């Protein structure tokens, strides 16, 4: 990902996107601008907690550079709730993407007309 590319707001949950737009006064920043904001500044921003910050850093630096994946062990109830809300936002974003894709229904399979009726269906063969 090029540092001069715009930050992919469409690829993140709405809550993360809103926090980023608030930080940049409504303007979509490029990846480099998002990277240059310190963790302390992000955590001081409204709507940004450890989970949102983790998602922002995942997008800007890539997961391969992260070695300190947080565990739910030792997290407070508030942190766990924030993580749950983040995951739910992410799930809703995925659902919206899936709903936006057109789905082609499979054509109905034709039923052979020469097959005998199923026993017990109430249809008697003629003849």
Tokens of 100: 């936006």
Tokens of 44: 């001081």
Q: 40 vs 75, which has greater pLDDT?
A: 40
What is the tens place of the pLDDT at every residue in 22-65?
Answer: 999 999 999 889 989 999 999 998 888 888 888 888 888 763 34
- Cβ–Cβ under 8 Å, residues 56 and 20: yes
Q: What is the pTM of this model?
A: 0.47
Report in angstroms the alpha-carbon separations of 87 from 22, 39, 108.
21, 20, 37
User: Which residues partner with 90 through β-bridges?
Assistant: none
Q: Give me the sign of the Cα torsion angle 66, 71, 72, 75.
A: negative
């Amino acid at each position: 990902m090029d540092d001069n590319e715009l930050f992919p707001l469409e690829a993140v949950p709405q809550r993360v996107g809103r926090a980023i737009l608030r930080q940049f006064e409504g303007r979509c920043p490029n990846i480099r601008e998002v990277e240059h904001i310190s963790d302390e500044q992000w955590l001081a921003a409204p709507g940004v907690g450890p989970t949102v910050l983790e998602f922002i850093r995942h997008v800007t630096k890539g997961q391969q550079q992260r070695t300190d994946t947080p565990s739910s062990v030792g997290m407070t109830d508030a942190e766990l709730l924030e993580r749950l809300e983040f995951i739910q936002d992410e799930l809703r974003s995925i659902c919206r993407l899936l709903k936006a894709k057109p789905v082609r229904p499979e054509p109905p399979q034709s039923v052979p007309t020469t097959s005998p009726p199923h026993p017990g269906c109430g249809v008697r063969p003629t003849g």
